[in-house]
Structure 1
């Protein structure tokens, strides 16, 4: 059965696996803070419920680690002749199709964690405020190549109008 997300002949480019590590580190920081609060609570007011809370937090951490890998593997992009495709999602899937002629500018960003991991995010801006064409987890050289290529293609399509 064909779905709107199955595009024959499209070769998807995956993002870097370093994005998985970044997402896992962020999730671990939140769980570590939660565990610190649980330990403090257990020391001040002992109850077996604190052990249950710690077990729930550790289970949540394991689920987040597993989910981060699945989510990152679901992110990809494909450059076609007239447009760029960006896909993401496992349970709630999305496919953004951005015509090169609609692009206004291409933004590359990298926060401190992304720079440490050696990845960057490319975001396409169009006239539509609701467009979500963001590609996280690209190696810096790939992000720069994609930025330059998309900018050239966008300018060429606008010049043809």
Structure 2
């Protein structure tokens, strides 16, 4: 990073870490992908609530439709597909808090490293010079909880990264830092 971008990142570290989890949780298995050196930043705690509300709404909707179809038609077969969806959604509800803590990102000298996953782990390093677009989005529920999603677009689709559940301040700070780095290098963006 350029000197100004490093100072901006250091000054904005409080914004990146405000209202977030304290640390990235690593899987305990011997074959895990290690975190490596440096400061890892986390998702906002509100991300868990947004996910639980969204998945809970799907769970209740599927349950209501299954009950309605059985009451209206009198046949029990709708419970087969509904039961599968309900079980998968319930498992999602149970693992969401742990899954959210496995997300993390790190600003390094030449790239941004993004990490996610418990069972299926993914670590992606996105070089600053390859970024073409930094996009912040948030839906109505996200706005209500003060979180946003930051999307980094690169020329290669496989290296594009979407960081969900950032506080609005962290998303704006991260966007500004990444744009400043790209401007100092005159590459990307």
TM-score range for the pair, normalised by the shorter chain length: 0.7 to 0.9
Kindly provide the CA deviation profile for residues 22-55 of structure 1, in whole angstroms up to 9, marking residues without a partner as x: 1111211211111112222342355777889887
Q: Secondary structure at the match of 2:165?
A: strand
66-75 or 134-143, which moves further after superposition?
Answer: 66-75
Say if 1:114 and 1:120, in contact at 8 Å, map to a contact too. Answer: yes
CA distance in 2, matches of 1:42, 1:124: 45
Whether 1:121 aligns to 2:149 is: yes
Change (3 A) 1:82 1:35: same
Whether 1:31 aligns to 2:59 is: yes
Whether 1:90 aligns to 2:149 is: no
1:52-67 correspondence to structure 2 within 5 Å: 59-67=87-95
Kindly provide the CA deviation profile for residues 7-32 of structure 1, in whole angstroms up to 9, marking residues without a partner as x: 43132111012111111112112111
TM-score (norm 2): 0.72
TM-score (norm 1): 0.84
Unpaired runs of at least 5, structure 1: none
Kindly provide the CA deviation profile for residues 45-77 of structure 1, in whole angstroms up to 9, marking residues without a partner as x: 557778898877665443221121122111110
Say if 1:108 and 1:121, in contact at 8 Å, map to a contact too. Answer: yes
CA distance in 1, matches of 2:81, 2:154: 45
Say if 2:126 and 2:160, in contact at 8 Å, map to a contact too. Answer: no
39-48 or 18-27, which moves further after superposition?
Answer: 39-48
Say if 1:101 and 1:155, in contact at 8 Å, map to a contact too. Answer: no
CA distance in 2, matches of 1:49, 1:4: 42
Say if 1:102 and 1:154, in contact at 8 Å, map to a contact too. Answer: no
CA distance in 2, matches of 1:53, 1:82: 48
Q: Secondary structure at the match of 1:78?
A: strand
CA distance in 2, matches of 1:63, 1:2: 25
Structure ranking higher on relative contact order (CA contacts 8 Å, 6+ apart): 2
Q: Secondary structure at the match of 2:48?
A: helix
CA distance in 1, matches of 2:93, 2:114: 23
Corresponding residue of 2:159? 131
Aligned mate of 1:104, from 121, 124, 132: 132
Count residues in correspondence: 159
CA distance in 1, matches of 2:129, 2:75: 62
